[in-house]
Amino acid sequence: SAVISQKPSRDICQRGTSLTIQCQVDSQVTMMFWYRQQPGQSLTLIATANQGSEATYESGFVIDKFPISRPNLTFSTLTVSNMSPEDSSIYLCSVEEKGQASYTFGSGTRLTVV
Amino acid sequence: GQQLNQSPQSMFIQEGEDVSMNCTSSSIFNTWLWYKQDPGEGPVLLIALYKAGELTSNGRLTAQFGITRKDSFLNISASIPSDVGIYFCAGRTSGTYKYIFGTGTRLKVLA
């Protein structure tokens, strides 16, 4: 299965600032996703990152707050903008490889906003 | 967003005991997945199920796709300390690429 490298692994940020998280996959994949996992909670889909076009956002998530780029089939970024303490979460990149019906996850970015 | 109900929410067990957990949905799914998440890591796929009634094993783990297609079960036999973690189910209906994740079962094993 695909190997996903996610950076940074963790960060502590000041409120009002922005953080960009990178997701690099070792093979070309069709589907890439960004999830949020709030402390002690399950995984919530933020958006599907579409190669060469705007991401598809889930209800409750907007592009101004979580801009996403996907310039090619192996790389995507998620930016958490104008952060507040409520944004403190683990952010996870995941992919679905062609021919597989399951998701592979990166190790996540643990974000703390102070 | 929609979530699947997992039970139990958490459990403490003795090393060597068997563990059972389940996941239920109001929707019919055509795929069920079971993941384990260790602290500081992303979820790792344990077992994938594609057909109602399917029973699949991965070492000491066995998972079943419920015949109603609205539930799934995971069993861990002879638990060991490294089984500690959070177990998530995930389900997907036909016609969508998105998985819905369960609320998670937090497992703690007492040596």
- CB pair distance less than 8 Å for A101 and B43: no
Q: Which of A43, A56, A59 is the best residue to mutate to test the B interface, defined by the most B CB atoms within 10 Å of its own CB?
A: A43
Rounded to the nearest 5°, which phi and psi values hold at A85?
-55, -25
Rounded distance between C-alpha atoms, residue A40 and residue A25, angstroms: 27
pLDDT of residue B110: 83
Q: Which of residues 56-95 of A touch B (CB under 8 A)?
A: 58-60, 92, 94
CA–CA–CA angle B110, B44, A112 (5° rounding)? 85
Per-residue pLDDT tens digits for A12-59: 999 999 999 999 999 999 899 999 999 999 999 999 999 988 999 999
Place of tokens 């002879």: B78
Place of tokens 């539930």: B71
Q: Is residue B102 within 8 Å of B23, Cβ to Cβ?
A: yes
Question: What contacts 24+ positions apart, CB below 8 Å, involve A18-22?
Answer: A18/A79, A18/A80, A18/A81, A18/A82, A18/A83, A19/A79, A19/A80, A19/A83, A19/A111, A20/A77, A20/A78, A20/A79, A21/A77, A21/A78, A21/A79, A21/A80, A21/A91, A21/A93, A21/A109, A22/A75, A22/A76, A22/A77
Which residues in chain A have their CB less than 8 angstroms from residue B98's CB? 45, 48
Q: Is residue B104 within 8 Å of B87, Cβ to Cβ?
A: yes
Reading the block at residue A76, the tokens are 């995507």
- CB pair distance less than 8 Å for A43 and B1: no
pLDDT band for position A98 (cuts 50, 70, 90) = confident
Alpha helices in chain A (DSSP H): none
pLDDT of residue A56: 96
Reading the block at residue B33, the tokens are 């997945």
Which residues in chain B have their CB less than 8 angstroms from residue A58's CB? 1
Per-residue pLDDT tens digits for B54-101: 999 999 999 999 999 999 999 999 999 999 999 999 999 988 889 999
% of chain A with per-residue pLDDT over 90: 90
- d(CA B5, nearest CA chain A) in Å: 11
Which residues in chain B have their CB less than 8 angstroms from residue A105's CB? 35, 42-44
- d(CA B43, nearest CA chain A) in Å: 6
